[in-house]
Amino acid sequence: MPRTVVVTGASSGIGRAAAVALARGGDEVILLGRDPRRLAGAVEAVREAAGRTPAAHQADFAVLDDVRSAGERIAAEHERIHVLVNNAGLLTAVRPLTADGFDPTMQINHLAGFLLTHLLLPRLRAAATPAAPAAPARIVTTSSAAEAWGALDPDRPGRRQYSRWLAYGASKQANILFTVEAARRWAPTGVIPACYFPGLIRSGFGRSSPSFSAARLAPGLFRTPEEGADTLLWLATSPTPPHPGGYYAWRAPFRATPRSTSPSRAARLWQSSLTAVGLPA
């Protein structure tokens, strides 16, 4: 029986590459993306690769009501979800707070995925039990080495950031801290969270940053989306599940800064994120 895999940020880059590869391998993929045109292109790419048309949901992660609607629709349509890939993310110019009142980078890169994961958690648990414990459900989150310079306040994750790079780094810290606390809470129920660093990717990501765009010209520095998706696919499909709460790169454990792996900071971020997205503590 094919697994059901939800991929966010699936309309381009790593998300699209992963969705195509997972569908080609036999999984039933569900695509989430913001841009309707790019999302339609990703649907067609999956159809060509796998011979079947995947489900797709348009959702702007800068609008939490979009996330709620997409999560509710997916949960209503699927009894089990075997893998959730929290890949949606961006590096954007500093811009006004979202309609929900949060820094846009933090909302798109952390809070929206945090909310979606909670909405789909019952379906992840259903996939994990009472089936074989050797095949747990998995949550795979795209993080970054940028976590090293993030200035995250775990008690106020949505506070305004005035530097695109500090905002991005803070959101990537949040991705790892989310994984740490989710593993503590959910691994005993058969849901295994892990995160990974894909490296520098040659895609539409970061086009608003002149320095990031210029760096693309350096030979050998950037990888293709397919290369960047390799560790994601390994975490999602390996017969041996990843270590709960693990952080990986190039199919191997990867070291994060202590600020991003602190259990106490992870617990504080969890509570403040619940409040931010309107979930009960």
| 126-159 tens-digit pLDDT | 998 655 555 789 999 999 999 999 889 999 999 9
pLDDT digits (tens, 9 = 90+) for 88-124: 999 877 789 999 999 999 999 999 999 999 999 999 9
Residue 181 near residue 266 (C-beta atoms within 8 A): yes
pTM over 0.85: yes
Which domains, ranges and CATH numbers included, belong to the chain? 4-277 (3.40.50.720)
Confidence of residue 206 (pLDDT cuts 50, 70, 90): very low
* CB hemisphere CA count around 186 (13 angstroms): 28
**Residue 231 pLDDT greater than 60, yes or no:** yes
User: What burial class does residue 139 get, using C-beta atoms within 10 Å of its C-beta: 0-12 exposed, 13-18 middle, 19+ buried?
Assistant: buried
Residue 134's pLDDT is 55
Among 164, 129, 131, 166, which residue's Cα sits nearest to residue 151? Answer: 166
Share of the chain above pLDDT 70, in %: 90
Under a CB-based contact definition with an 8 Å cutoff, are residues 8 and 56 in contact?
Answer: no
| CA 196 – CA 89 distance, rounded (Å) | 13
Concatenating the DSSP letter of every residue in 184-217 gives HHHGGGTEEEEEE----B-SSTTTT-HHHHHHTT
Distance, first Cα to last Cα, the chain: 36
Strand order in the sheet with 55-58: 55-58, 28-33, 4-7, 83-86, 137-142, 191-196, 246-249, 252-253
Report the distance separating Cα 118 and Cα 216, nearest Å: 36
Active site residues: 168
